[in-house]
Structure 1
C-alpha cells in the first residue's frame, strides 16, 4: 500500500477531506485535476489523502500507478458535508498518514484543497518536515463566506491567516473570492485559478418545440441549504403563480434545509409545481440539465459554482445573484437579482419564461463562455503554479511542467 515511487518526476502530496462521492464542488474540482494529470507525459506523481466513510478501515485506490488515493477512516455520516468531529478526525488521521507516506519517499510539494482542514495539515507538515505547500481556497474555508459559520470563523481566523501567510502560494477561484480573502489577510499575494467544466459531458441538447400551455422548467442544482437560496426561488415561484405565469421548478440535491423547503412548498400551495429530485449522481446530471429551460442559482455566496458552469455548458440561460463569483460568469448569457430579493428574482424569471428567443440567445452565449473553462487549460495553470513554487525552493530540481 505504501510502496515507493521513483523520484524523477514531480511528486505532490495532495490533501482534501472530500472526494467524490463525498462533498460538493471541491471534490469535483479535485477529481478533474487528477483525471487530467493521469494523461501527462512525463507523469506527475500524486498521493491524495482524503476521507473514507469507514469507521476503522483505510482504503486505497489507483487511478494510475502514478496517481494514488489514500482514504483515512473518518466515518462520514453525510455525503454532503462533514461535522466538526469528522473534520478533526480527518485532520489528525490525515496528518499521521501523511507523515508515514513522506517517510517512505519525500515529496516536492503539498497541495491543500481548502485552508481548513487540509491547509492545517499542510501547515503542520511544513513546520515538521519543511515541505512547501499551496492552499487552494474553495469557499466556506474563507472567513465571511457563510453566515452559519460565523462563530467558527471568529475562533479560527487567526490560524487561517497564519496558514495562508506561510503557504508558498494561495489560490482563489474568482475575483470576488480573492477580495473576500483579502478581508482576512490584506495584501496577501493570491493567484486566481477558476474552476473548469467538462465540455464533452455537458453539452446543449436540441429540444422539440414546447406544446402550448406547457410550463417553463427552472432548475436549481445545489445543496439544499440556506445559503443556496432555494427558499427565495420558491417565494418567487409563488408570486409568479399568483400572476398567472406558468413555471415549474426542479430542485436537484439534498441538504439540511430540505424539510423546511418541502414545508414551504406545501404552505405556498406549490406541491404540483416543485419537484425534489434528491441526490443525483454526476453521471445523471446531463439528463437533468436537458429537462430545464432556465437555470437559477439564487445563492448568498459562491466561489465559482460548478453547477453554474455545467448549466452554461449545457446551453441554458441563467439567473444568479449579485454575490460571490456568480456574476463574473455573466456576459450576455443571463440575468441577475440581488440576494433575497424575491420580487426582483420573480421579475427575472418572468422575463426569461416569456421570451423564447431571449432564452435561446442567452443559452448560446453561455455555451460560448463555458468553452473558455475547459479542464485541460485549467489544469495546466495548476501545474505551472506548482512548478513556479518549486523553482523558488532552494535545492529543489526543476520538473517539466509542459
Structure 2
C-alpha cells in the first residue's frame, strides 16, 4: 500500500539558521512519519529580506536560510514571501500563499502530488494554506497552537479570515481542548474539530542526576527555580522574578534561572536590580534542547507565568526530566497539569501567588520519579493515531494495510 502524501505547511518550522524555531511542528511530523504510513514534504516560508545587513537586526538571519534543505530526513523548502511594513498583519496570508504557490507546483511537477495539506498555526499560515488548498483543489487540515486562536481573533479582519479558513478546512486540530472550544463557540461544525495534544520526547527529555547537573552548570539554589521561553511580556518572566523576591524571606537560598532570548531582556535585568535580587537571577539566553535537558534536571521547580498558552511544551519537557511545575491556570495548561505529581496551578498572575504555589509544592514534598511517570503518559502515539484517522477521513486514502 502506498503511503499517504502529506504536505506540511507552516512558517513555524526549524531551519539551519534557527534550528529551534517551531521545533514542536517538526517533532509531531517526525513522530507521524515513524508510523510508516505517511510520506511528507515540508514548505516552510520565510520573509524575504534583501541581504544579511546588520541594519535589519534579527530579521537579517532570514536572508541566510537556504531555499531548500534536508532536516532529519525531511525535504524542507523555504520559499520567500513579502512581509510588508505596517500592513503586514493583514496582508501576510495572501503574501504567504503567493510566495509558496510556485513551490507547491514544483513539488507536484517532481511527482509529489499531496493527498492533503496539513497547516500549522491558524493565522496567517492556516489562512494561506486555505488559499493554496483552493488553488490546487486539495483537502486541508489546520492545527491551532495558542495565540492564533486565543489572541489574534481580537482583531476583526484576521478573525474573519480565520473563520473563512476554518470553514474551508476539512478538519481543525487543537493542541488543547480550549482552542477547539473557540471554534465551537463561533458555531463551527463540531464533527470537524479535533483535539490532538502534543506529546513529549521521552528519550530526549529524561531525568539526569540533579546534583551532577548543578555542578556541571555551575549553579545552586535551595530551591532552584527555572523559567523558560521567549523573553516577551506574555511569558511572564517578570512575574517569576517577583515570585523569587517574595520567596526569599522564607527560603533565602532560592535562585532563579531564566532561559530564552527576546525584547524584554533589559527590562528583566532592571526589574531584578530594582527588587534587590539581581545576584540571585541568571539569564542564560536561548539554549538548545541538549542543554535544556540539563537545566530541567538541575531545577527543583519550573515556573510558567504566561498569560496565554495553548499547550506549553516546556511543561511536559520539565516533567519528563522529573521536575514539577507551577503554572498559570489558563487555556490548555490545566489539561497538562492535571495531577499533584505534575505540580500546581496558580489562579492569579502575581509574584505572591506563584511564591505561594512554590511553597505549597515544596512543603508537600517532591517525588521526581512520580513526576517522570506522569510525563510518560504523554507519548506521541495517540496523536499519531488521531492524525492518521483524520487524514484517512478527509482524503479517502486508507492509511492502514
Q: TM-score range by the shorter chain?
A: 0.7 to 0.9
Q: Is the 8 A contact 1:11 1:109 kept in 2?
A: yes
State the alpha-carbon separation in 2 of the partners of residues 56 and 292 from structure 1.
Answer: 35
Residue 3 of structure 1 corresponds to which residue in structure 2? none
State the alpha-carbon separation in 2 of the partners of residues 339 and 203 from structure 1.
Answer: 30
Given the alignment, which residue of 211, 217, 239 partners 2:246?
239
Deviation per CA, 1:269-289: give whole Å up to 9, x if none: 111111101110122211111
Given the alignment, which residue of 329, 350, 367 partners 2:359?
350
SS of the counterpart of 2:23? helix
State the alpha-carbon separation in 1 of the partners of residues 400 and 100 from structure 2.
Answer: 28
Deviation per CA, 1:119-143: give whole Å up to 9, x if none: 122211232221110001111111x
Q: Which moved more, 1:221-230 or 1:27-36?
A: 27-36
Q: TM-score, normalised by structure 2?
A: 0.83
Q: Do the aligned partners of residues 230 and 315 (structure 1) sit closer, same or farther apart at CA in structure 2, a change above 3 Å counting?
A: same
State the alpha-carbon separation in 1 of the partners of residues 259 and 235 from structure 2.
Answer: 12
* Greater fraction of residues in helix: 2
Q: Is the 8 A contact 2:199 2:378 kept in 1?
A: yes
State the alpha-carbon separation in 2 of the partners of residues 31 and 253 from structure 1.
Answer: 20
SS of the counterpart of 1:373? coil
State the alpha-carbon separation in 1 of the partners of residues 325 and 350 from structure 2.
Answer: 17
Q: Do the aligned partners of residues 351 and 129 (structure 1) sit closer, same or farther apart at CA in structure 2, a change above 3 Å counting?
A: same
Deviation per CA, 1:297-324: give whole Å up to 9, x if none: 0111211111101011111111011101
Residue 222 of structure 1 corresponds to which residue in structure 2? 229
Residue 30 of structure 2 corresponds to which residue in structure 1? 35
CA RMSD for the aligned pairs? 3.0
- Report the alpha carbon displacement of residue 367 of structure 1 after superposing the two structures with TM: 1.7
Q: Do the aligned partners of residues 157 and 346 (structure 1) sit closer, same or farther apart at CA in structure 2, a change above 3 Å counting?
A: same
Q: Does the alignment pair 1:196 with 2:165?
A: no
State the alpha-carbon separation in 2 of the partners of residues 41 and 203 from structure 1.
Answer: 26
- Report the alpha carbon displacement of residue 257 of structure 1 after superposing the two structures with TM: 1.8
Residue 262 of structure 2 corresponds to which residue in structure 1? 255
Q: Is the 8 A contact 2:45 2:99 kept in 1?
A: no
Deviation per CA, 1:375-402: give whole Å up to 9, x if none: 24422322222112112xxxxxx33346
Q: Is the 8 A contact 2:119 2:143 kept in 1?
A: yes
Residue 395 of structure 1 corresponds to which residue in structure 2? none
Given the alignment, which residue of 78, 89, 94 partners 2:100?
94
**Mapping of residues 141-180 of structure 1, within 5 Å:** 141-142=148-149, 145-146=150-151, 149=152, 153-180=155-182
Q: Is the 8 A contact 1:202 1:310 kept in 2?
A: yes
- Aligned pairs, number: 372
- Which runs of no fewer than 5 residues in structure 2 stay unpaired? 47-60
Q: Do the aligned partners of residues 58 and 343 (structure 1) sit closer, same or farther apart at CA in structure 2, a change above 3 Å counting?
A: closer
Q: Do the aligned partners of residues 268 and 18 (structure 1) sit closer, same or farther apart at CA in structure 2, a change above 3 Å counting?
A: same
State the alpha-carbon separation in 2 of the partners of residues 339 and 150 from structure 1.
Answer: 24
Q: Does the alignment pair 1:389 with 2:394?
A: yes
Residue 379 of structure 1 corresponds to which residue in structure 2? 384
- Report the alpha carbon displacement of residue 332 of structure 1 after superposing the two structures with TM: 1.4
Q: Is the 8 A contact 1:174 1:303 kept in 2?
A: yes
Q: Do the aligned partners of residues 75 and 274 (structure 1) sit closer, same or farther apart at CA in structure 2, a change above 3 Å counting?
A: farther
Q: Is the 8 A contact 2:167 2:188 kept in 1?
A: no
Q: Do the aligned partners of residues 23 and 342 (structure 1) sit closer, same or farther apart at CA in structure 2, a change above 3 Å counting?
A: farther
State the alpha-carbon separation in 2 of the partners of residues 103 and 270 from structure 1.
Answer: 60
Q: Does the alignment pair 1:62 with 2:70?
A: yes
Residue 394 of structure 1 corresponds to which residue in structure 2? none
Q: Which moved more, 1:382-391 or 1:85-94?
A: 85-94
Q: TM-score, normalised by structure 1?
A: 0.83
State the alpha-carbon separation in 1 of the partners of residues 18 and 377 from structure 2.
Answer: 26
- Which runs of no fewer than 5 residues in structure 1 stay unpaired? 1-6, 77-82, 392-397
